[in-house]
Chains A and B, each alone.
Chain A
Amino acid sequence: MSPETGIRTERVILQAVIANRLDSIAGEMGLVLERSARSPIFAEACDFACGICNARGELVSQLSGIPILATAGSFSVQAVLERYGDTIADGDAFIVNDPYYGGNHLPDIGIITPVFAGGELLFFCVSRAHHGDIGGSAAGSYNPKATEIFQEGLRIPPLRLVNRGVMVEEVLDLITYNTRNPGMLRSDLLAQTGANRIGRRRLLEMIEQYSAGVVYRTVGEILDQAEKLARERIATLPEGIFTGVELVDDDGFQEEPIRIEARVIKKGDSLTVDFSGTDSQVKGFVNTSIVTTTTAACIAVLWVLGPDVPRNGGAFRAIAVNAPKGSLVNPLPPAPVTLSTLTPAGEVIAAIFKALAAAAPERIPAGFGRYCGPSFYGVDPRTERFYVGFAFCALGSGGAMDGLDGSPYMAPISNYGGVRTPNIESNEVQYPHITLCHEMEPDTAGPGRYRGGPGIRYAIRFYDPKPGIAMFGDGMKIPPYGLKGGEPGSLNRAFLCTREEEIPLQSKESPRQLQPGDSVMLVSSGGGGWGSPLERDPELVLQDVQDGIVSVEAAGRIYGVVIGNSGGDPRVNHFSITSVNR
Chain B
Amino acid sequence: MYRVAIDTGGTFTDIAAVSESGQMMMLKSPTDRENPAQGIILALAEMAGCWGLDLATFLEETEQIIHGTTLALNALLEGQGSRTALLTTEGFRDALEIRRSRRDNQWDLRAPVPRLLVPRCLRLGVRERLDYRGEVVIPLDREQLEETIARLRAEGVESAAVCFLFSFQNPAHEQAAAEALREALPGVFITTSAEVSPRIREYERTSTVVLNAYLTPVLAAYLNILEEKLAAYGWHRPLYLMLNSGGLTDAGTVKNFAVKTLLSGPAGGAQGGQALAQELQNPDLVVADMGGTSFDVTLVVNGKCRQVPEAELAGHPVTLPMTDIRSIGAGGGSVASVDESGRLMVGPRSAGSVPGPACYGRGGTEPTVTDAALLLGLLNPEGFLGGRLRLDYDRAFAAVRDRVAVPLGLDTAEAALAIYRIAAARMADAIRLVTVQQGLDPRRFALVAAGGAFPLFAGLIAGELEMREAVIPLQGPVFCAWGMLGAARQLDLSRTCLISSDSFDWGTLNALVGDMLVQGNADLHRYGVSGAERETELTLEMKYLDQHHEISINPGELKFGLSSAEKINNAFHERHRELFGYDEPGKPWEIVNVRVVCREKGRDYVYPGLSHLTGDNGVEQYYPTAGSREVMVDPAGWQAVKVYGAAGLPRVVSGSGLPSEAPGPALLEFPYTTVLVPAGFTASLGAQGYISLRRETNNLNNRETNNANKGEEGGQ
- Is B151 touching A401 in the complex (CB atoms < 8 A)? no
CB-CB < 8 A to B103: which residues of A? 410, 416-418
Tell me the nearest residue of chain B to A411, going by C-beta: B101
Tell me whether B562 is interfacial, beta carbon within 8 Å.
no
Given contacts A9-B635, A571-B150, contact A211 B201 (CB under 8 A): no
Inter-chain CA distance A197–B581, complex, in Å, is 7
CB-CB < 8 A to B21: which residues of A? none
Tell me whether A420 is interfacial, beta carbon within 8 Å.
yes
Pick the interface stretch among A249-257, A303-311, A483-491, A533-541.
A303-311
Tell me the nearest residue of chain A to B153, going by C-beta: A572
- Is B713 touching A10 in the complex (CB atoms < 8 A)? yes
Which of the residues A37, A417, A425 comes within 8 Å of B106, measured between beta carbons?
A: A417
CB-CB < 8 A to B95: which residues of A? 423-424, 438
Tell me whether B687 is interfacial, beta carbon within 8 Å.
no
Inter-chain CA distance A406–B429, complex, in Å, is 36
Mask of A435-452 contacts with B, CB within 8 angstroms, 1/0: 111111000000000000
Inter-chain CA distance A421–B119, complex, in Å, is 21
Inter-chain CA distance A44–B91, complex, in Å, is 23
Given contacts A32-B579, A43-B547, A303-B109, contact A420 B433 (CB under 8 A): no
- Is B429 touching A232 in the complex (CB atoms < 8 A)? no
- Nearest CB on B from A199, distance (A): 10
Which B residues from 92 to 138 make CB contacts under 8 A with A?
A: 92-95, 97-111, 113, 119-121, 125, 129, 131-132, 137
Given contacts A5-B410, A38-B546, A225-B341, contact A440 B111 (CB under 8 A): no
- Is B579 touching A429 in the complex (CB atoms < 8 A)? no
Tell me the nearest residue of chain B to A427, going by C-beta: B132
CB-CB < 8 A to B660: which residues of A? none
- Is A307 touching B108 in the complex (CB atoms < 8 A)? yes
- Nearest CB on A from B282, distance (A): 24
Which A residues from 380 to 433 make CB contacts under 8 A with B?
A: 395, 401, 404, 407-410, 416-426, 428-429
Which of the residues B108, B113, B155, B201 comes within 8 Å of A426, measured between beta carbons?
A: B201
Inter-chain CA distance A228–B339, complex, in Å, is 10
Inter-chain CA distance A35–B548, complex, in Å, is 7
- Is B713 touching A214 in the complex (CB atoms < 8 A)? yes
Given contacts A13-B425, A425-B201, contact A571 B147 (CB under 8 A): yes
Tell me whether B544 is interfacial, beta carbon within 8 Å.
yes
Inter-chain CA distance A448–B479, complex, in Å, is 53
CB-CB < 8 A to B635: which residues of A? 1, 6-7, 9-10
Interface size bracket, A side: 35 or more
- Is A419 touching B137 in the complex (CB atoms < 8 A)? no
Tell me whether A117 is interfacial, beta carbon within 8 Å.
no
Tell me whether B627 is interfacial, beta carbon within 8 Å.
no
CB-CB < 8 A to B580: which residues of A? 32, 35-36, 191, 194-195
Which A residues from 89 to 133 make CB contacts under 8 A with B?
A: none
Pick the interface stretch among A17-25, A145-153, A493-501.
A17-25
Tell me the nearest residue of chain B to A567, going by C-beta: B154
- Nearest CB on B from A245, distance (A): 22
Tell me the nearest residue of chain A to B99, going by C-beta: A409
Interface size bracket, B side: 35 or more
Which of the residues A5, A10, A233, A395 comes within 8 Å of B101, measured between beta carbons?
A: A395
Tell me the nearest residue of chain B to A426, going by C-beta: B201
- Is A401 touching B110 in the complex (CB atoms < 8 A)? yes
Tell me whether B672 is interfacial, beta carbon within 8 Å.
no
- Nearest CB on A from B165, distance (A): 6
Tell me whether A157 is interfacial, beta carbon within 8 Å.
no
CB-CB < 8 A to A190: which residues of B? 582, 584
Which of the residues B98, B107, B343, B551 comes within 8 Å of A421, measured between beta carbons?
A: B98
Inter-chain CA distance A221–B449, complex, in Å, is 34
CB-CB < 8 A to B714: which residues of A? 210-211, 213-214, 217
- Is A426 touching B548 in the complex (CB atoms < 8 A)? yes
Inter-chain CA distance A516–B120, complex, in Å, is 34
CB-CB < 8 A to A248: which residues of B? none
- Nearest CB on B from A363, distance (A): 9
- Nearest CB on A from B21, distance (A): 47
Tell me whether A283 is interfacial, beta carbon within 8 Å.
no
Which of the residues B106, B201, B339, B579 comes within 8 Å of A418, measured between beta carbons?
A: B106
Tell me whether A202 is interfacial, beta carbon within 8 Å.
yes
Tell me whether B537 is interfacial, beta carbon within 8 Å.
no
Mask of B697-710 contacts with A, CB within 8 angstroms, 1/0: 00000000001001
Tell me the nearest residue of chain A to B423, going by C-beta: A16
- Is B107 touching A12 in the complex (CB atoms < 8 A)? no
- Is B713 touching A13 in the complex (CB atoms < 8 A)? no
Pick the interface stretch among A170-178, A471-479, A542-550, A556-564.
A542-550
Inter-chain CA distance A494–B387, complex, in Å, is 68
CB-CB < 8 A to A423: which residues of B? 95, 100, 200-204
- Nearest CB on B from A180, distance (A): 14
Inter-chain CA distance A66–B165, complex, in Å, is 29
- Nearest CB on A from B49, distance (A): 47
- Is A573 touching B154 in the complex (CB atoms < 8 A)? yes
Given contacts A13-B421, A202-B436, A421-B101, contact A439 B410 (CB under 8 A): no
A-B contact pairs, 19 of them (CB 8 A): A7-B635, A7-B716, A8-B410, A16-B425, A17-B421, A24-B429, A35-B579, A67-B107, A194-B580, A205-B436, A209-B707, A214-B713, A228-B340, A303-B107, A417-B101, A421-B100, A423-B203, A438-B91, A572-B154
> Interface residues, chain B, CB within 8 Å of chain A?
91-95, 97-111, 113, 119-121, 125, 129, 131-132, 137, 147, 150-151, 154-155, 165-166, 200-204, 339-346, 408-411, 413-414, 417-418, 421-422, 425-426, 429, 432-433, 436-437, 498, 544, 546-549, 551, 576, 579-582, 584, 587, 635-638, 707, 710-711, 713-716
Closest 3 CB pairs of A and B: A417-B103, A437-B91, A194-B581
Given contact pairs A16-B346, A438-B94, enumerate 14 new A-B contacts (beta carbons under 8 Å).
A6-B637, A9-B414, A12-B408, A15-B343, A38-B544, A38-B546, A194-B580, A211-B714, A307-B105, A408-B97, A416-B106, A420-B100, A428-B132, A438-B92
